A and B are shown apart, each in its own frame.
Chain A
Amino acid sequence: MIEQISIRNFKSLTNVDLKLGRLNLFIGTNASGKSNFLDALRVLQGIGYGFTFSEILDGKPKSAASEVWQPIRGGSALAGFSGAGRKMNTVFQVSGRSGPKEKPWDWSYGISFAASEGHLREEYLKESNTIFHLPAEEENSHRDFAGSAESQDTIYCATEVENRPELEVYYLGVVGVPRSGFTFEKNRPVLGQMAKLYSSDAKLLACVANELVNMQHVDPSPRFLHAYSQAHTIQRMGERGENFAALIKTICSDEKAKSAYLSWLKELRPAEVDDVGTLNGALGEPMFMLKEGGQQYPAPVLSDGTLRFAAITAAFFQPDMPGILTIEEVENGIHASRLRLLVEMLRNRAATGQTQIVATTHSPIVLAWLKKEEYATTFFCKRDEATGESRICPLTEIPHFMEIVRKQPIRDLFAEGWLESAL
């Protein structure tokens, strides 16, 4: 789980520091920075995969080892924030908690890079001591992590090899004496490169990389939800709902999981839905189906809204659950009177502790259904028209919000623009 995240100079996010919870909602007007925050999470995922900066930002075609990686909106040209007339390094720092409940361990990771050049500037990983810290390459240059990653226990440090695109990294050991050196590419994060080395820390590095990788963005598209799945059963569906029906088939093979999944669909369409399942194509490929009044209704005749809710709900029943699930405009296609159900489902699934949820919404009704204790992880995003910078602030830190919300419904404060005026 990612507990804290700091972002500097990434798109409109110039100075963002957030404490995240299990259920995190991002609200704000169009182009206020909500999607940029989700893009920031994708950058972290790309770092976890070990892609080059250019691949992370500009995309990567399918290869033998990986699927297609879609570019970050705007690509490397627009990834760094241009402020005060100069391009500044893009900086991410995250800290989290991993491992089993009974024996968790805390870690923090930071990276600074020049987005347009695709070069690493600085990077560190800390557990109880600093696993590695690669300081800024130029002598006397600006240090993005000054003070944050300094440690006498640093195990690895790096020097730049002049006129070469590599970093020379030395294993210091606990006594600080340089030993065997490694050479790393400067155009990709060291985290993934180092995780592949044989060392006592490789497991830890791989664990952190996996925490960053284990995110899933869910944005189901009717095109995939209406169609037959290519696979027959599956552990995790695609971002756009690819293999949705195969996932349903997998869920339905477990009687208890099916019953729990069906209970949400029944609440969405009370007195209509009797059962859920799949129909088989000529080669046994599955297609989503709902049974209503004894009649089977295949996906093509079901509404987009019903299918979207069914797909988002199914994402919470995947046998291979992600660590972080992101959903943009989570209320899309769902009737206002069913948004209570949606909020209940998000809260219910977040409470299991298995998956951290990050969602954006434009719906005042979704906000109306939040509990007061959820305001600390409901973030209001606002774009400064003059500078173009986004500010992201938890509702609890908006001046006078907690006092006013006792007297005025939050949905009215949001819909009438009070939040914007107050921040």
Chain B
Amino acid sequence: MSFSVLVIPEDPTHNGYILKPLVERMMRELGKPQARVKVLENPNLNGYDDARRAITEDLPLTWRHFDLWLFMPDADRARNLAGLEKELETQGVCLRCCAAKPEVEAWLLAGHRAKLQLDWKHVREHARLKEKVFAPFLEKYGDARAAGAGRSALMDATLRDYDGLMTACGELKELQDRLKQLPALLVRA
């Protein structure tokens, strides 16, 4: 049986184009190149509060069989994620959380810093990254006719410099280091 990962985004509509290839690549780094990565597409997850409620109330019953859960919300509203991990542990679910600073779109942008003409520190602290930075970037460099308006191809480009992504987005490096400590992933070592 291959290692299975359930990724829980805050916004299931577009985040999957960024999170799926990212987590697949991270699993490869962790020695699980065949890992089955599923991004939860529950249309009723509508923002952080809904996602957090679903994680504790609805999802454990149906998705418990996944080896690892990753909750990847935007950092702006994420609170007490360590507490959430502990709570899920009591339900027999291995959950790890990683809040994107400031929003998930920053992980895609990390591979395209030269095109942004913005200081990366400023991008990472931007209060309205999605609307003010990412949307115009996507319009210029994406493809409105493609699935996800071209997010997949742009994320592929970001992942070509995986180490650069880890350096630019410390929370991802931290997540990867934490995952290395999981017994299921230690087997490889």
Report A's interface with B, CB cutoff 8 A: 256-257, 259-261, 263-264, 266-267, 270, 316-317, 337, 340-341, 344-345, 348-349, 351-352, 368-369, 409
Contacts of B148 in A (CB 8 A): 263, 267, 344
Partner of B145, one of A317, A340, A368, A409: A317
* Number of B positions contacting A (CB below 8 A): 16
Partner of A263, one of B12, B41, B146: B146
Contact between B149 and A348, CB atoms less than 8 A apart: yes
Known contacts being A266-B152, A337-B41, A369-B43, is A344 close to B143, with CB within 8 Å? no
Docked Cα-Cα span, A340 to B150, in Å, equals: 16
Docked Cα-Cα span, A274 to B146, in Å, equals: 15
Among residues of B, the one whose C-beta sits closest to the C-beta of A270 is B20
Contacts of A257 in B (CB 8 A): 145
Contact between A341 and B43, CB atoms less than 8 A apart: no
Binary flags per residue of B141-160, CB closer than 8 Å to A gives 1, else 0: 00111111110110000000
CB distance from B44 to the nearest CB of A (A): 6
Does chain A have a CB within 8 A of B13?
yes
CB distance from B111 to the nearest CB of A (A): 18
Contact between A345 and B44, CB atoms less than 8 A apart: no
Contacts of B12 in A (CB 8 A): 340
Docked Cα-Cα span, A349 to B143, in Å, equals: 12
12 pairs, A vs B, C-beta closer than 8 Å: A256-B143, A260-B143, A260-B145, A263-B150, A264-B147, A266-B152, A317-B145, A337-B41, A344-B13, A345-B147, A348-B147, A348-B149
Among residues of B, the one whose C-beta sits closest to the C-beta of A369 is B43
Among residues of B, the one whose C-beta sits closest to the C-beta of A338 is B41
Contact between B43 and A260, CB atoms less than 8 A apart: no
Report B's interface with A, CB cutoff 8 A: 12-13, 20, 41, 43-44, 143-150, 152-153
Most buried by B among A259, A260, A270, A368: A260
Partner of B146, one of A260, A340, A341, A409: A260
Docked Cα-Cα span, A167 to B12, in Å, equals: 60
Docked Cα-Cα span, A337 to B12, in Å, equals: 13
CB distance from B131 to the nearest CB of A (A): 17
Contacts of A348 in B (CB 8 A): 144-145, 147, 149
Contact between A340 and B43, CB atoms less than 8 A apart: yes
Docked Cα-Cα span, A344 to B146, in Å, equals: 10
Contacts of A317 in B (CB 8 A): 145
CB distance from A402 to the nearest CB of B (A): 15
CB distance from A61 to the nearest CB of B (A): 38
Known contacts being A263-B153, A409-B44, is A341 close to B143, with CB within 8 Å? no
Contacts of B43 in A (CB 8 A): 340, 368-369
Contacts of A368 in B (CB 8 A): 43-44
Docked Cα-Cα span, A354 to B59, in Å, equals: 40
Among residues of B, the one whose C-beta sits closest to the C-beta of A265 is B147
Contacts of A316 in B (CB 8 A): 145
CB distance from B125 to the nearest CB of A (A): 29
For the A-B complex with A259-B153, A409-B44 known, give 10 more contacts whose Cβ atoms are closer than 8 Å: A260-B150, A261-B145, A263-B143, A266-B147, A266-B152, A270-B20, A317-B145, A348-B144, A348-B149, A368-B44
Docked Cα-Cα span, A369 to B12, in Å, equals: 10
Among residues of A, the one whose C-beta sits closest to the C-beta of B21 is A270
Among residues of B, the one whose C-beta sits closest to the C-beta of A337 is B41
Contacts of A264 in B (CB 8 A): 146-147
CB distance from B156 to the nearest CB of A (A): 11
Contacts of B152 in A (CB 8 A): 263, 266-267
Contact between A344 and B145, CB atoms less than 8 A apart: no
CB distance from B22 to the nearest CB of A (A): 14
Among residues of A, the one whose C-beta sits closest to the C-beta of B14 is A344
Contact between B143 and A259, CB atoms less than 8 A apart: yes
CB distance from B167 to the nearest CB of A (A): 28
Docked Cα-Cα span, A400 to B13, in Å, equals: 27
CB distance from B161 to the nearest CB of A (A): 21
Docked Cα-Cα span, A261 to B145, in Å, equals: 8
Docked Cα-Cα span, A369 to B14, in Å, equals: 12
Docked Cα-Cα span, A345 to B152, in Å, equals: 15
CB distance from A36 to the nearest CB of B (A): 30
Contacts of B150 in A (CB 8 A): 260, 263
Most buried by A among B41, B144, B146, B153: B146
Contact between B147 and A344, CB atoms less than 8 A apart: yes
Among residues of A, the one whose C-beta sits closest to the C-beta of B42 is A368
CB distance from B151 to the nearest CB of A (A): 9
Contact between B143 and A352, CB atoms less than 8 A apart: no
Docked Cα-Cα span, A345 to B143, in Å, equals: 13
